[in-house]
Amino acid sequence: MKIEPQKNPGMQKVADLIDDIGPGMLTTHDAHGALTSRPMMPLQIDAAGSLWFFTRPSPEKQAKSGELNVAFAKQSSASYVSVTGSSEIVYDRAKIDELWLPMAKPWFPDGKEDPSLALLRVDVETAEYWDANSSSMVRLISMAAAAIAGKTPDLGENATVRNTPGAPTVESR
């Protein structure tokens, strides 16, 4: 995945976590308003904090471009990211050329020239992350010690990043 230096400093941590995690689950509403999720591999996080994915747009997807969520999880490192934002389907051959990866060919048999290939840009408005920054053994010991002491364990960093102009950048918890 390509990560550009982030304009919003709080988004750099989010970008680094997503880069380490890999695929996420993109959640939108279907034609009946029900939530539906599908795995997606991010290709880029641009300087504005937007996520880029390859997609095969259908009339339903185009009509439903709008608010969505993408959730990323890596249990082995206890790293989790949830981003919300708005989306747009983008038809930009130069951008497709820039982001093309051979691993996408099974989904787009004609390669980057596939007529069904487009980009989904997710403009991140808010991202929340949890990052343990410790091994599973350290987390287990921390939970046991907290249980004995009757306290809440410190399991790492949790923060919300607002990626909108004029909003506070990071709210730690």
Range of the domain at 75: 2-172
Q: What pLDDT score was predicted for residue 61? A: 59
3-class DSSP string for the chain: CEECCCCCHHHHHHHHHHHHHCCEEEEEECCCCCEEEEEECCCEECCCCCEEEEECCCHHHHHHCCEEEEEEEEHHHCEEEEEEEEEEEECCHHHHHHHCCHHHCCCCCCHHHCCCCEEEEEEEEEEEEEECCCCHHHHHHHHHHHHHHCCCCCCCEEEEEECCCCCCCEEEC
CATH at 156: 2.30.110.10
Q: Say how many domains are in the chain.
A: 1
Q: What is the pLDDT along the chain (173 residues), one digit of tens a residue?
A: 999 999 888 899 999 999 999 999 999 988 888 899 999 999 999 999 999 999 998 766 555 557 899 999 999 889 999 999 999 999 999 999 999 999 999 999 999 999 999 999 999 999 999 998 655 555 455 555 556 766 665 568 899 999 976 666 676 66
What's the predicted TM-score (pTM) here? 0.84
